[in-house]
C-alpha cells in the first residue's frame, strides 16, 4: 500500500517460509520514546505514506510528540482492522443484518453490505 518510503522503514520478515511486509519503527528518530498507542499510529503512517495525504512531515511530527505541547499537526489514521468489544460488536452485527434486509427490500443485492469487502478510499 505504501507508495513512499521516506525513512527506509519497509522491510521483509520471513516466518516459516512465509514472507511478510513490515515497517520498522526504529528507522524513525524519536520512535523509541513514544508510548505504545502512538507507536501503533506511527506504524500506520509508515505503512500508508503516499507523499500527499500522509507525508514524511506527518511522520516526523508524530515522532517528535511532546505530551505537554499544544497539538499543531493533524495526522490521518487509516486503520486496517477495527476490533470491537462484545458489547459494541453485537449491535454492529445487528445493524449490518438490518442494512442487508433494507437493501434487499429496495431491490438491491444484500451481499454488497459486507464489512470484509468495503471500499478503501
The domain segmentation of the chain, as residue ranges, is 1-80, 86-117
pTM of the model: 0.66
Is the pLDDT score of 93 beyond 60?
yes
Higher pLDDT, 22 or 116: 22
| C-alpha cell recorded at residue 105 | 427490500
Task: Name every residue whose Cβ is closer than 8 Å to that of residue 119 and which is 6 or more positions away in sequence.
Answer: none
CA-CA distances (angstroms) from residue 101 to 5, 73, 95, 118? 44, 42, 10, 17
Alpha-carbon distance 69 to 62, whole Å?
Answer: 12
* 60 band by pLDDT with thresholds 50, 70 and 90: very high
Amino acid at each position: 500500500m505504501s507508495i513512499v518510503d521516506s525513512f527506509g522503514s519497509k522491510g521483509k520478515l520471513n516466518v516459516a517460509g512465509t514472507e511478510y511486509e513490515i515497517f520498522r519503527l526504529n528507522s524513525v528518530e524519536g520512535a523509541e520514546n513514544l508510548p505504545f498507542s502512538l507507536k501503533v499510529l506511527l506504524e500506520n503512517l509508515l505503512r500508508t505514506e503516499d507523499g500527499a495525504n500522509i507525508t514524511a512531515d506527518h511522520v516526523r511530527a508524530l515522532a517528535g510528540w511532546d505530551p505537554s505541547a499544544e497539538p499543531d499537526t493533524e495526522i490521518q489514521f487509516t486503520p486496517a482492522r477495527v476490533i470491537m468489544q462484545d458489547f459494541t460488536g453485537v449491535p454492529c452485527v445487528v445493524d449490518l443484518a438490518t442494512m442487508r434486509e433494507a437493501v434487499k427490500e429496495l431491490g438491491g443485492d444484500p451481499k454488497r453490505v459486507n464489512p470484509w469487502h468495503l471500499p478503501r478510499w
